[in-house]
Structure 1
C-alpha cells in the first residue's frame, strides 16, 4: 500500500469512473461527508481522506512548519492525486478546503476537471474595505479558546455553525468530529486558516468552479460568494436555501442536488 494512503487515511468507494475527491474543513474529518456520499456511489468513484492530525491519520507525519500555510495542505492533496494516479477530478472542498483545492488546482490544473467550493472564504479577517467577517480580536479569542479548552470550544461552536437546532443529534455528531482532531494540530490548522489571504490567487484559477454559499452562514458573510464570483474566472455562484456552515450535514439533499447539477451541466465549464 502506498504510504500516502495510510498517512491520510484514504478511502476509495463507488462504482463509477468519474473521480470525486471530498475534502473536509478545519477541525473535522472525512466523516462529515457521510450524509451525502451514498448519493454518488453508483455513478462515481469517491475519494475520502483526512488531513494529518484528524481522524485515523499517521500523526507522526505531521510537520508544523509545512502546515503553517494552506500550501502545505495543498501539497498533500497533490500527493494523494499522484499516489492514486487520478485525472479529470471533481474536487469538492468544504470551508478552508475550498481554498486548499484552489491552490492545488492552480499548481496542477491539468488533473482537475471542476472545483466545488462549499462555504468558501479567501480571507476571514476584515481588511480595510474588505469585510471577511472577523476582527483581529475575534480570531485571537478563538485561538485562546482552542488552547485553553478545545473540547469546550467544540461544544460551543458546533450548534452555532450548524444552525440546525431541530436536529440535536447532528450537533452531537459534529462535536464528535471536532474531538477526533488533535488539539495542538487543530490550533495550528486554525492559524493557517484564519490568517490566510487567498484573494490574489483567485484570478489565477483556470479550472471551472462553483461556489455554494449559504443564506445565513455564521462564518462566511453572503457577500463573500459574490466576491469570489467576481474575481475568479469561470466561477458560478449558487446561494443555497440551507443555513449554517455545514449544508452537507444539515441539508444533504440540497447539497447533493447542487453538486450534481454543476458536474453534469456542460455549459458550466
Structure 2
C-alpha cells in the first residue's frame, strides 16, 4: 500500500533542513496544525499526516485490531518514517500522540532526534498517588456518552477541551474536526486513548525530550506534566502561558517558538 496516500502525508518547508513531524491527537487531523506549520516550515522541513481513520487518510486501511491500541498509531508513524527514509526527525505529538511518539521512539530510536510532547498524558485516570485528572467513573461516563451520541458529545466536549470560552470559534473548530471523524472509528480511538496507560514506557525513553504543558488544561493538568518530566530521563519541561488542551490553536506563536527552539538545539 502507498503509505503517502494511506496517511495523507504532506511534506512542506525547506528541503534538506532538519525534519519536524507533526502528529495530531484524538478526533483531529493535520489541519489543526495550520497556524503552526507555516511558521515552522520557514526554517524546517515539516511532515504532516493523518492517522488511518482520521482526516483524509485511506479509511479502507483501518481495522479495529490494529487501531484498538496506541501501538497501531505508533506503527503508522514508523511506516511514514520508513517510507520517507527519515532519520533524526523531531517528532511533535499533540495530546495522545505524545505517547504514540514515546512508543515509536522506544521501538526504533534511530529514527528520532527529539521528541516534543505537547500537553501529554501517560494515563488519564487517577491511580493511587498518580493524578491523571479523571476518575474511572469520569472516563466510563465520557466513553458511554461518546458511544451513545458522538455528535452530541463532540459539541459538548470540544469547548471544554479547548478552553478559552471568550474565543468560541476555537471550540467550534475542534467540534468540527471531531464531527468529521467516523463515529465508529472515533469510539475505538477514544477507548485506545482514554484507557491507555503508558507510564511504564516513559523511563525507557532515551531520545532528547521536551514536554510542553499549558498553565491551565483540564485534560492534562500540570501534575501530569510534572510526572512525565520526572519519569523521562533528562527531559525538559516548559509551561506555556496558555489555556486549554490545544495550544497550537489558542497560542500558536508561543507553541511554534518552543518547538523551533528545541529543534535547533
TM-score range with shorter-chain normalisation?
over 0.9
TM superposition shift of 1:240: 1.0
Consecutive aligned runs of 4 or more in structure 1 exceeding 3 Å deviation? none
Aligned to 1:9: 8
The whole-number CA distance in structure 2 between the counterparts of 1:54 and 1:263 is 27
**C-alpha contact (below 8 Å) 1:29/1:180 kept by paired residues:** no
Aligned to 2:134: 134
The whole-number CA distance in structure 1 between the counterparts of 2:224 and 2:262 is 20
Give per-residue Cα distances to partners, 1:224-248, cap 9 Å, x unaligned.
1111111101210011101110000
The whole-number CA distance in structure 1 between the counterparts of 2:228 and 2:253 is 24
Q: Secondary structure at the match of 1:65?
A: helix
Aligned to 2:105: 105
Aligned to 1:252: 252
TM superposition shift of 1:89: 0.1
TM superposition shift of 1:162: 1.2
Aligned to 1:216: 216
TM superposition shift of 1:56: 1.1
Q: How does 1:163-182 map to 2 (within 5 A)?
A: 163-182=163-182
Q: Secondary structure at the match of 2:165?
A: coil
Aligned to 2:95: 95
Give per-residue Cα distances to partners, 1:27-73, cap 9 Å, x unaligned.
11111100111101122111111111111111111110111111111
The whole-number CA distance in structure 2 between the counterparts of 1:190 and 1:63 is 14
CA root-mean-square deviation: 1.1
1:157 matches 2:149? no
Q: Secondary structure at the match of 1:255?
A: helix
TM superposition shift of 1:167: 2.1
Aligned to 2:205: 205
1:38 matches 2:21? no
The whole-number CA distance in structure 1 between the counterparts of 2:165 and 2:238 is 24
TM superposition shift of 1:74: 0.3
The whole-number CA distance in structure 2 between the counterparts of 1:133 and 1:166 is 24
Q: Could you tell which deviates more after superposition, 254-263 or 200-209?
A: 254-263
Q: Secondary structure at the match of 2:63?
A: coil
Aligned pair count reads 264
Q: How does 1:256-267 map to 2 (within 5 A)?
A: 256-265=256-265
The whole-number CA distance in structure 2 between the counterparts of 1:63 and 1:152 is 25
The whole-number CA distance in structure 2 between the counterparts of 1:136 and 1:231 is 23
Q: How does 1:59-74 map to 2 (within 5 A)?
A: 59-74=59-74
TM superposition shift of 1:132: 0.9
**C-alpha contact (below 8 Å) 1:119/1:212 kept by paired residues:** yes
Q: Which runs of 5+ in 2 are unaligned?
A: none
Q: Which runs of 5+ in 1 are unaligned?
A: none
**C-alpha contact (below 8 Å) 1:28/1:178 kept by paired residues:** yes
TM superposition shift of 1:15: 1.8
Instruction: Tell me the TM-score normalised to structure 2 length.
Output: 0.97
The whole-number CA distance in structure 2 between the counterparts of 1:151 and 1:227 is 33
